[in-house]
A and B are shown apart, each in its own frame.
Chain A
Amino acid sequence: MRVGNYELKLEKRLTLTNWEAAIISILAIIFALALFSFIFTLAKINPLLAYQEIFSYAFANPYGLPLTINRFIFLLLCTSAFIIPFRAGLWNIGMTGQLYAGALGTFAVLFAFGGNVPGSADLSPEILIPLMLVVAALGGAVLAAIAGFLKGKFNVNEIVVTMMLNFIAFWLVAQMIKEGGPFKAPGGEGQSFVVSPSVYAPLIMNVPFTIFLALGAAVLLSFLFARTKIGYQIKAHGHNPAAARYAGISTFKIPLLVFIMGGALAGLAGYHYFAAVPGVYKISSNYGYFGDLAFYGIICGLISLGDPLVAIPVTLLFGGLSVGGRFVQGKLHMGFGVDYALLGVLMIALVAFQFFYRYKIVRVSAGEERLDVGVHS
């Protein structure tokens, strides 16, 4: 392309610094917001006003900010659950099912201690909260392990297995909370019994303690991949399974392990959303909405290029926009799902801009180099 006396040309990048990657991502976000402003304009809404509403509600509003943070914790756990298998070259599409399994584990612990009957049991948080966490992680891990085992042992496609397990887990939850199911709320319709206030997750400045689990897991994973033997084996398997096998890395153990680890984190996301978020404390009848939200773990994981630390700002942004988008839709009386539409545009922009991770635009003086084609005599 020619611009005045200069010609723009694409050139392959040999290296990409973290700064360059960050700048490219920020440009992608600005681009996505600019693109989406057309949609606001079409709906006869001033885009600047809309964005101001979205961001101020999501990040500066006393009602919006806690919602954002809770979604952020949820998304970060789901993203880590995606990233671990992803680094081993495997696709976990089953965070949804795994978080359901985690939720079921959580409520199974409460059920076992009589927590389903309101006010009848004196539940001790010191024992029950750790137990709920462990069983939730175990639930997610066991469900995901099925996919890891089948992949490692028989090379069954893990995408299909995790996807199908999502349906199984979805209906399992439905079965447990419906009329006659053990977790059904007494007298309630299509939702589980409510968590007893004595075992509410501790809040720190109104934020569930699970934020430390999510952030801690991201930091630990980053260390795992950078320094440890197991992290090295996972990465080697991810880049080239044949070479990993050559180097003595088990192509059975690695798939199994990464799915167990990922499933455990997704299970914790289930604990977080259904037993730790103020105002929820139950498996509500619209639990499928949070299951769908878990799919953003895939998107965030891909945008972060599998880096657990990069996933932190990415999931914060996605969590905030999903909250702010939903809010602005109601406030400005818009007739469509602004939250998901906005996330969709953002996601496409971020992925498309990753082109610039590999190429850069350089300027050369016109005439210096030209690529014309055809036969000259």
Chain B
Amino acid sequence: MQKGLLEGIKRGETALEARGITKRFPGVVANDHIDFEIRAGEIHAILGENGAGKTTLMNILFGLLQPDEGEICIGGKSVKFRSPLDAIDLGIGMVHQNRKLVPAHTVIENIILGHPRAGRILNLKRAGEEIQELCERYGFKIDLGAKVWQLSEGEKQVVEILKALYRGAKILILDEPTSALAPPETKKLLASIETMAGDELAVVPFITHKLPVVLAISDRVTVLRRGKVTARLETEHATEKSLAKQMVGREVIFRIERTKVEKGKPILQVEDLSALSDKGFLALKGVSFSIREGEIFGIAGISGNGQHELAEVLAGLRKPEGGKVILEGKDITHSSSLERWQMGVGYIPAERVEVGSIADFSLVENVTMNFYFDDNFSRRGIVDYRKIRKLTKEIVSEYSVAAPSPDTKAKNLSGGNLQRLILARVLSRRPRLVIANLPTQGLDVGATEFVQNKLIEAKKEKAGVLLISEDLDEVLSLSDWVAPLYEGKFMGIIPGEETRRESVGAMMAGTSLMEQEI
């Protein structure tokens, strides 16, 4: 492998060119003759829905997959990557969405891990100074001695970026860079990215749904749809609407009108509820609220502020430390999760793959997860799989889950389709209380719209909906009540019509409503 193809490259010169990249998987063409070029010093966003072929393309650019056809040129020379090591050697850096770091090691140890110069003897001091320099140049603030498990998602991403830069990356591929960040963190990251582009690095963010980010920072955009390039344009000629149309292939409505539903009797009452996190500290510190029939109660906030614990306590998967949970007048504080399912609680977990589904189970078996205990679907200990199969076919078509058959395994579904399946399974029980934790996270524009509409439908059918989301716009446009959660406490509970974006944003970051009024 020839190194240094990108040494001394000047702004505006082509750093990487992909010609006719094609990758087929059994039954699907994931990348269909994709062409694009990336220049030094530009921010070139690659935009596409889930299943558009972004991940495949990213893996090809990073040497994790080999294309069936087509070639990649770096600095004008055709190259083939045998493994990511070749790509790294040629100056490609990759920041994965699922962080690939060693949690028990420090930041600096993670950054130098695998660096050729680290060799057998670690010169942490010298490495530390060099990394510190990188931090200063690009405006990253991070404690190099901290252990990675102590870091927030945003900080972990910084570590990954530093790792790539320290390896000498000239082309930086970022997978969904802002998806896990709070608004202030996003702002900082975007500033750093712009500095990097100023240093003649090519930055290539791959983005699914955060269109404003694309518009804010990129110089050029390449849009993928179903494995093909559908648009290639300068960002100044693009609008949010036009990009969405290219991605989805049809017009997308961005603002959902809040539907007025006559509110009925209370469904859920929560009194002074607190709970411990997995690590044993108090993550939920006494929250009280109630949800009535036909209401969506939105909890805004960055993950890690007690949302996960709240959702699990309500679903019966975590014991509360104190407080009360009352469902339609019945105290369910100590009920098991099975009892709650039977009483009409429907939980849509944030962890679709780890908790919400069973990868090696077929769609029918996955649907069975919420019906095996139901007397309509199992009699005298025997599960009526024929009936569940029929139900699966119905809900799969009603929720447009793209799958060849009910026997397809869940692991073969894309993220969006898996979420449709989970939603279909839970909502078809007609739950009285829907707990939706990050229901649209990581979903593309089309699937997001679908999920949001289904939650509104549940509301219209007089269910109470608890919506937990990091997406402020989503919470604001859907909820009848908005409660920003920060460090285990509500910073206020505001009627949906009266919310102001800035005020809720500040509350997500820890400023209570009262402080703002002062």
Question: Could you tell me which A residues sit within 8 Å of B by CB distance?
Answer: 12, 14, 227-230, 232-233, 235-236, 239-240, 242-250, 369, 371-377
Contacts and interface: CB of A to CB of B under 8 A. Distances in A.
A183 B372 CA distance: 48
B385 A227 contact: yes
Interface string B7-46: 0000000000000000000110000000000000000000
B370 A247 contact: yes
13 contacts: A14-B26, A227-B382, A236-B358, A236-B365, A236-B369, A239-B359, A240-B357, A245-B337, A246-B355, A248-B339, A372-B80, A373-B81, A373-B82
Given A12-B26, A239-B358, A230 B78 contact: no
A229 B354 contact: no
B99 interface: no
A227 B369 CA distance: 14
B80 A229 contact: no
B383 A246 contact: no
Interface of B: 1-2, 26-27, 66, 68, 77-82, 86, 315, 317, 336-341, 347, 349, 351, 354-361, 365, 368-370, 372-373, 378, 381-383, 385
Contacts of B336: 248, 250
A308 B368 CA distance: 23
Contacts of A228: 381-383
A300 B77 CA distance: 54
B372 A232 contact: yes
A373 B349 contact: no
A369 B67 CA distance: 10
Given A242-B351, A374-B80, 16 more contacts: A14-B26, A228-B382, A229-B373, A232-B365, A236-B369, A243-B358, A246-B317, A246-B347, A247-B341, A248-B338, A249-B338, A373-B82, A373-B86, A374-B1, A375-B1, A375-B79
Nearest to B407: A15
A236 B361 contact: yes
Nearest to B384: A227
A193 B300 CA distance: 74
Contact of A230 (B66, B82, B361, B381): B381
B79 A239 contact: no
A248 B338 CA distance: 4
**B interface SS class:** loop
A288 B461 CA distance: 66
Contacts of B368: 232
A246 B348 CA distance: 10
A314 B82 CA distance: 41
Contacts of A248: 336-341, 373
Contacts of B340: 248
A232 B383 contact: yes
B372 A229 contact: yes
Which of the listed residues B66, B86, B337 has the most CB atoms from chain A within 10 Å of its own CB? B337
A239 B362 CA distance: 12
A239 B26 contact: no
A232 B372 CA distance: 8
Contacts of A236: 358, 361, 365, 369
Nearest to B357: A243
A230 to B, nearest CB: 6
B508 to A, nearest CB: 27
A242 B68 contact: no
Contact of A239 (B351, B356, B361): B361
A240 B372 CA distance: 16
